[in-house]
Homo-oligomer: A and B are copies of this chain.
Amino acid sequence: MDIVQVAKRANVSTATVSRVLNGFPGVREKTALRVHRAIAEMHYIPNPNARSLRVGRTRLFGLIVSDVNNPFFPELIDAFESLATAEGIEVIFTHTNYDLKRLHSSIRRMIERSVDAIAVMTSEVEEDALQQAVQAGIPMVLMNQRKLAHKYPNVPVDYSAGFREALEHLLSLGHRDIGFIAGPQSLDSARGRKDAFTAALKSHGIHVRNEWIAIGDLRVEGGRKAMDALLARSPRPTAVVASNDLMAVGALQAAHASRIHVPRDLSLIGFDDLPIATMVHPALSTIRHPRREVAARAFDLLWKTVQGESVAEASALQPHLVIRNSTAPPAGLKRR
């Protein structure tokens, strides 16, 4: 079962078997054939631990996300894993449940496993945790971290572009009174989305009214409560943009509970384009987060780094508005 047996059977040395195994040049075709036959006959599978021990690389990448249960992540995981598989890389995968302590221990575990690279695709990160990987000399990539972008490799997403598209859509429908449901401002990514939104408003000369900005917990429940808060305002906005789809779904439920018809009485736009966006009624117009591309960029960056190639600074990925049925012109009587 080991390489020595194969070598014996093929009447060559272990070195030659190894060369064949790894596709190295300088082996006569005839010899390679003998070796291949021996490998097949003996159902030989090289021992990855022995190989890794020798070459110092494991062909194992780590992938850390915030939460598998959050429907944002599966596509990202899927994309990352597919690319890895295509390159013969295995992915060990874990999630932090939004807990920085768990991020820390996850990274530590991956280092102990001696992965070749780590993709930290969590919404929030902490430098302490990342430093472990740096010290271990393991390449790493972050997703969409504004603060740390200059210190660590990062895959940026241009939220502003997405909100600008959403806003232009709402403006073209005739809306001027636009509310926003933001995420907890302790999270860098949530702050980023809110800043991007208010910037988009300003760039269209629209005054930002703080009473039309509500904070939710990024989950359905939070969206519901935030929407309830917005609906209690007087005057209230004719359109609301939520900073993620889960909260948009909650907002939809809140509107429904208050007998406010979407989109007739209120337009609603989400962010992310989760699968649920098409499952609720009305189907949610939303800004598509390019998460497959994020995963692809992240993998690509790690792969190149591992190969020793240099990686160019990448431009930010663009989200795009997907128009479905939750937006419509504002009801005439409600004009400002």
Contact = CB atoms under 8 A, between A and B. Distances in A.
A136 to B, nearest CB: 8
A44 B256 CA distance: 58
Contacts of A77: 68
A220 B279 contact: yes
A81 B69 contact: no
A47 interface: yes
Report copies per complex. 2
A109 interface: yes
Given A93-B93, A281-B280, A78 B74 contact: no
Given A53-B49, A279-B280, A78 B71 contact: no
Contacts of A48: 112-114
A92 interface: yes
A321 B293 CA distance: 39
B279 A47 contact: no
Interface in A30-63: 43, 45-50, 52-53, 58, 60
A298 to B, nearest CB: 16
Given A47-B114, A94-B85, A249-B279, A68 B74 contact: yes
A53 B81 CA distance: 26
Interface in A65-103: 68-69, 71, 74-75, 77-78, 81, 85, 90-95
Nearest to A78: B68
Interface in A271-289: 275-276, 278-281
Contacts of A50: 49, 53
A111 interface: yes
Contacts of A47: 53, 114
A218 B68 CA distance: 21
Given A49-B49, A280-B279, A92 B95 contact: no
A145 interface: no
Contacts of A16: none
Given A52-B49, A92-B93, A93-B92, A69 B74 contact: yes
Given A53-B53, A281-B253, A69 B58 contact: no
Q: How large is the interface on A (under 10, 10 to 19, 20 to 34, 35 or more residues)?
A: 35 or more
Interface string A113-132: 11000000000000000000
Nearest to A278: B220
Interface in A152-187: none
A116 B225 CA distance: 47
Interface of A: 43, 45-50, 52-53, 58, 60, 68-69, 71, 74-75, 77-78, 81, 85, 90-95, 109, 111-114, 135-136, 220, 249, 253, 256, 275-276, 278-281
Given A47-B53, A48-B113, A53-B53, 11 more contacts: A45-B112, A45-B114, A49-B49, A49-B53, A49-B114, A71-B74, A81-B95, A85-B109, A90-B109, A90-B113, A92-B93
Closest 9 CB pairs of A and B: A49-B52, A49-B53, A68-B74, A49-B49, A69-B74, A93-B93, A68-B78, A90-B92, A249-B279
